[in-house]
Amino acid sequence: MMKTRDKFIEVARQLFARKGVENTTMNDIASASDKGRRTIYTYFKSKRDIFNAVIESETDQLLNRLRLIVARQCTPEEKLMEYVDCRFEAMREIVSRNGSLRAGFFRDVRKVDRARKIITRKETAMLRGILQEGVEQGVFAISNLNQASVIITQTIHGLDVPYIRDNLSDEGIDKGMLKSYVSDIILNGIKKR
């Protein structure tokens, strides 16, 4: 059985997706959860608080999928390619699952940044683990793991919207090619060897 707090989060996610965050009230969430208004305020101070919990719940799902990749028994190169692939696809799924939240996601850069800050450090740490594993195995040559993991994470984040919207197809780059190019550039760079 779902805990009360989790139920509020899931109901809020569905309402936010269908009606939009701006058009959903705390009363709407409470009544759709079959709980009283006072009960929701024991868990959440405000609509922003429950919105952040929704984002955190969605991003936890992403992080769990990435953790499974990091824990796999395969080469660091394979992990890195799977990580990039999974990261793009999971973010696309999160955004598309959340209906009208999509418009707000793309329109409000501050909301995007807030949502990303929740997971950026965790993503960067996981990526750093993959890179460190590669360095220890003599597969990757990286002089500063911290900086490399931050830059790669931010690069992937910067491609979220073009990937989700498939904006690069006008340039002849479909989603599969984008994931492949990003993985290839990270793994091999562009310098001729």
The reply to whether 1 falls in a domain is: no
Note whether 173 and 143 are within 8 A (CB).
no
| Per-residue pLDDT at 160 exceeds 90 | no
Note whether 97 and 16 are within 8 A (CB).
no
Q: Residues with Cβ < 8 Å from 176, sequence gap 6 or more?
A: none
Q: Give phi and psi for 115, each to the nearest 5.
A: -60, -40
Q: CATH no. for residue 101?
A: 1.10.357.10
Tally of structural domains, the chain = 1
Q: What is the pLDDT of residue 55?
A: 82
Tell me: the pLDDT tens digits for 167-190? 899 999 999 999 999 999 998 886
Tell me how far apart the alpha carbons of residues 37 and 40 are, in angstroms, rounded to a whole number. 5
Per DSSP, the residues of 115-152 read HHHHHHHHHHHHHHHHHHHHHHTTS---S-HHHHHHHH
The reply to whether 7 falls in a domain is: no
The reply to whether 161 falls in a domain is: yes
The reply to whether 193 falls in a domain is: no
The reply to whether 38 falls in a domain is: no
The reply to whether 36 falls in a domain is: no
Q: What is the pLDDT of residue 17?
A: 86
Task: Look at 25-34, 83-92, 111-120, 126-135 and tell me which has the smallest mean pLDDT.
Answer: 111-120
The reply to whether 170 falls in a domain is: yes
Q: What is the pLDDT of residue 105?
A: 53
- 111 vs 171 pLDDT, higher one: 171
Q: Which two tokens stand for residue 186?
A: 């990270």
Domain span at 165: 54-188
The reply to whether 18 falls in a domain is: no
The single-letter code of the amino acid at 63 is L
What is the rounded average pLDDT for all residues in the chain? 88
